Amino acid sequence: MTIKVGDRMPEGKFKRMTEKGPRDLTTAELFNGKRVVLFSVPGAFTPTCDAKHLPGYLQQAEQLRAKGVDTIACMAVNDAFVMNAWGKASNVGDKVLMLADGNGDYARALGLELDAKGFGMGVRGQRFAIVVNDGMVTQLNVEEPGQFAVSAAEHVLRQL
């Protein structure tokens, strides 16, 4: 079943790189008591993700925070090492939290997995953006295949 507006975010965990190496970050730690924009990309360093999706959130980070967003998080079905390298290559700093959903467990829990086997990428997460307020979905923007519009930072900013 696919997540929808008004639903609570499912429990789960991500991996994120820390100074001590990869560490778990639970959804409770990410969402509880916070307003979060979680956006998902099919893969780190892939064309649209690298050229438009992540850069848009970096450019709009201050405006999103001014609208009450506590955390901006990027999720992909990649490992923590790849997400960390992508974050460094994109000069993310502390603007966007780079989260690895290495086995696609969280994408599946949301009902937003993507079969990219035809591209040699296995099962990934769809391109989407979710606004979460204290664990509750308040906005859900899932892209149609091959599209990039409703999950863009500018679109999310207009919704807040």
Which domains are present in the chain?
13-159 (3.40.30.10)
* Structure token digits, residue 116: 């990219």
How does DSSP assign 112-152, residue by residue? Answer: -EEE-GGGT--EEEPSEEEEEETTEEEEEEEPPTT--STTS
Which is nearest to 126 in space by CA: 118, 158, 141, 139?
141
* Structure token digits, residue 80: 């923590």
Active site residue 74: no
Q: In this predicted model, what pLDDT tens digit does every residue of 127-148 receive, in sequence order?
A: 999 999 999 999 999 999 889 9
The residues that bridge with 36 in the sheet, in sequence order, are 71, 132
pLDDT at position 116: 66
Residue % of the chain over a pLDDT of 90? 84
pLDDT at position 123: 74
Q: In this predicted model, what pLDDT tens digit does every residue of 50-73 receive, in sequence order?
A: 889 999 999 999 999 999 999 999
- Whether the predicted pLDDT of 149 surpasses 70: yes
The alpha carbon of residue 159 and the mean position of all alpha carbons in its chain are separated, in whole angstroms, by 17
- Please give the mean pLDDT across all residues of the chain: 94
Which is nearest to 57 in space by CA: 15, 17, 90, 100?
90
Q: Which of 49, 83, 100, 112 is catalytic?
A: 49
User: Do residues 112 and 128 lie in contact, with contact meaning Cβ atoms separated by under 8 Å?
Assistant: yes
The residues that bridge with 37 in the sheet, in sequence order, are 72, 131
Residue in the block written with tokens 């990934």: 124
* Structure token digits, residue 105: 């467990």
Spatial separation of the C-alpha atoms in residues 160 and 158, rounded to whole Å: 6
Q: Which range among 27-36, 95-104, 117-126 shows the weakest confidence by mean pLDDT?
A: 117-126
- Whether the predicted pLDDT of 120 surpasses 80: no
Residue % of the chain over a pLDDT of 70? 98
Q: Average of pLDDT values for 25-34?
A: 98
Q: In this predicted model, what pLDDT tens digit does every residue of 38-50 receive, in sequence order?
A: 999 998 998 887 8
